[in-house]
Every structure is written in structure tokens, then in C-alpha cells.
Amino acid sequence: KFAAEGKNVVFTGRSPEKVAAAEAAYRAKFPGVDILGYAIDSLIDERTVDEAAVEAMFTWLDARDIFVEHLVLNAADQGLGIKALENPLTDFMKVLNTNVVWNYCICEHAARRMKENGGGSIVFVNSNTAYRAIPDRIAYVASKGGQLGMMRAMALDFGKYNIRVNAVLPGMIRTDRWEKNPEFYAKVPSRYTPI
């Protein structure tokens, strides 16, 4: 959407191969727009967010004189397969570290630069599970509730620097993942959403 409106885009992904392929596809589709992909992973291990990787990414952007005016955070660990009372604590920690701590780390680095440049915007792609629970997803539900609270607090703390912080809370979105997992999606509440 940003590229279609003529905005330059930097996007991230965990797989260098997928990032390179997406970057090539986006550049071909939007030849008049600068598009850069950057491969980065969120965690060193379940307990440790890779803050050094975030610092390196923003140093890389700074060296290219790239200012992230609009930050959209849409990556998440969905916490699939985590059963209450069965999985180790580190599985829970991994989801919270990715969805809350990792996102905070990225926001902190971006907001420092936004403050210096007169403002910007941060948008979390959250989930309607921030205010309603779904079965066998305790870690994900907790992380999305925490992320929503973090967004509200950031809006208060960053607003004085002309930085808007918001979240969108979608339910299921019909993508190829929906089509490839018909057994799972046949049973989810969003299956009955009219549009």
C-alpha cells in the first residue's frame, strides 16, 4: 500500500532468501519507488531479544540517510501448539518476547529518530484477541493484550514529540494461509464473520 502510493519502503523478514525474493518482486512491481528489504530475527533464544540486531539495523538505515517516518509492526509469534500446563515456560516467554519486548525494542529505536526529526507514526497490527480469548493460545492472547497496553502507554509518552501511536485489531483475514489450512479455519470464530 505504501509503495502503491509512491512512498519509499523498508521491510523486514526473518529469512534472507524470502526477503531477497520479496524485495525483487516489489521493485519490479513499483519501479519508481525505493524498496529495501532487511533480514533480521527477533530472538537470540526464547529468553533473549536480539537488541544488537535492532541497533545494527537502525545503524544501517542511518548510514543510508533513511528515516523511518511510519513504522508498521505486523510480525508476530502466534504461539500455535502451546498447551496450558503442558509446554515449558520458555515457549510462553518466546511469544511474549517476540510480540511485546521485540516490538518495544524496534519502537524505541524508531521513536528516538522520530523525536529528532519532528515526529512520525507507529502502528501495531494487533489482534482482536487483545480483548477476547481463544482456546490454547494463552501466550498469544497475553502478548496481544500486553501489546495493546504498551501501545496506549507509548501514545501518551511519545505524543509530546508529535509521534502518533495506534493499533488496528483485526480478526481473521482470508489469505493463502486460510486456504492452505481448511481444517483449522473451519472451526475458528472468524469463519462466521460476514465479510
Which phi and psi (to 5°) does residue 145 adopt? -65, -45
Contacts 24+ apart (CB under 8 A), 47-53: 47/90, 47/93, 47/97, 48/97, 49/97, 49/101, 49/102, 49/105, 50/102, 51/105
Q: Which of 26, 104, 140, 192 does the annotation list as catalytic? A: 140
| CA pair distance 195, 190, nearest whole angstrom | 10
Contact predicate 10/66, CB 8 Å: yes
Has 140 been annotated as catalytic? yes
Q: What are the E-state strand segments in the chain?
A: 9-13, 35-39, 43-45, 48-49, 70-73, 120-125, 163-168
| CA pair distance 163, 72, nearest whole angstrom | 13
Output the CA–CA distances (angstroms, integers) from residue 54 to 43, 50, 113, 161, in the order listed.
Answer: 10, 7, 13, 22
Looking at the annotation, which residues are catalytic?
A: 140
